[in-house]
Amino acid sequence: QSVLTQPPSVSGAPGQRVTISCTGSSSNIGAVYDVHWYQQLPGTAPKLLIYKNNNRPSGVPDRFSGSKSGTSASLAISGLQAEDEADYYCQSYDSRLSGSVFGGGTKLTVL
Amino acid sequence: QVQLQESGPGLVKPSETLSLTCTVSGYSISSGYFWGWIRQPPGKGLEWIGSIFHSGNTYYKSSLKSRVSISVDTSKNQFSLKLSSVTAADTAVYYCARLPPNDYGSWFDPWGQGTLVTVSS
């Protein structure tokens, strides 16, 4: 069981907007720690999508956005495209565990 | 740009030690940053194993601490993972990655392509 909780799956039609939640606790997201998001396309290594809650690395489309509030964070994907079909993971730091923690991952299906 | 590449045996026998190396190109490890290992069992999620600072300070996942060792060789621009007493549960794709310093928790970027290690007799 992961320290950060994500829905196992979400889906949406092309052009729609979907959100993926990441719920933590007072020792990670609810504390001062940042949340980061990764996209993992089938058969490939994870790729950084959002860092420090709401920052996009160079090259990541602005269709992807992140937010954090309280003990939760969210990744929003607007204008859904077929190429967005992938697994998405959130990640933060946990002070009680003294290390990085990941969510269990969410599989996005583009209908 | 910075690139990372994992290397090591793809098959390890139960109770033996898994050894992997990550070779960094496009950036000198001794210049800074943290460097980490993450693994992903087949069909499952990501698990942080541990990280090392360029100076050699190490940080390990508590549940793996008794079996894990991460070291850095600045002369070869590499860092390495050793995981002892492996079982089938250690079968996974192992990734190495760079972590920038951040007061509120670092992120992993970039990642190596990953290497599958199977534990089996």
Query: Could you tell me the pLDDT band of residue B9, with boundaries at 50, 70 and 90?
Result: very high
> How close A95 comes to chain B (CA, Å)?
10
Residue of A nearest to B62 (CA): A97
B106 interaction partners in chain A (CB closer than 8 Å):
93, 100
Asked whether the predicted pLDDT for residue B17 surpasses 90, the reply is yes
Task: Provide the pLDDT for residue A1.
Answer: 84
Nearest CB neighbour to B95, from listed A2, A45, A100: A45
Judged by average pLDDT, the poorest of A27-31, B94-98, B102-106 is B102-106
Q: Which residues of B touch A100 (CB under 8 A)?
A: 36, 48, 51, 105-106, 108
pLDDT at residue A32 tops 90: no
The CA-based angle B48-B22-B114, given to 5 degrees, is: 60
Q: Can you give the pLDDT at residue A63?
A: 97
Can you give the pLDDT at residue B104? Answer: 84
A25 phi, psi to nearest 5 deg: -150, -175
Taking only the tens place, the pLDDT of each residue in B44-70 is 999 999 999 988 899 999 999 999 999
Question: How confident is the model over A8-19, as pLDDT tens digits?
Answer: 999 999 999 999
DSSP B121: -
pLDDT at position B55 is: 84
Q: How far is CA A13 from CA A30, A31, A81, A84, in A?
A: 32, 35, 8, 11
CB atoms B59 and A98 under 8 Å: yes
Predicted confidence at residue B102, as pLDDT, reads: 86
| pLDDT over 90 (residue A6) | yes
For chain A, give the mean pLDDT.
96
Mean pLDDT, chain B, rounded, equals 95
Per-residue tokens: B72:
């850095």
* Phi/psi of residue B29, nearest 5 degrees: -55, -35
Question: What is the C-alpha separation between A11 and B70, in angstroms, rounded?
Answer: 39
CA of B113 vs chain A CAs: smallest distance (Å) = 5
Q: Which residue has the higher pLDDT, B74 or B54?
A: B74
pLDDT score at A100: 96
CA angle, A83 as apex, A81 and A86 as ends, to 5°? 110
Q: Is the pLDDT of residue B31 over 90?
A: no
Say if residue A110's pLDDT is above 90: yes
Residue A109: its pLDDT value, please?
A: 97
pLDDT mean over A47-69: 97
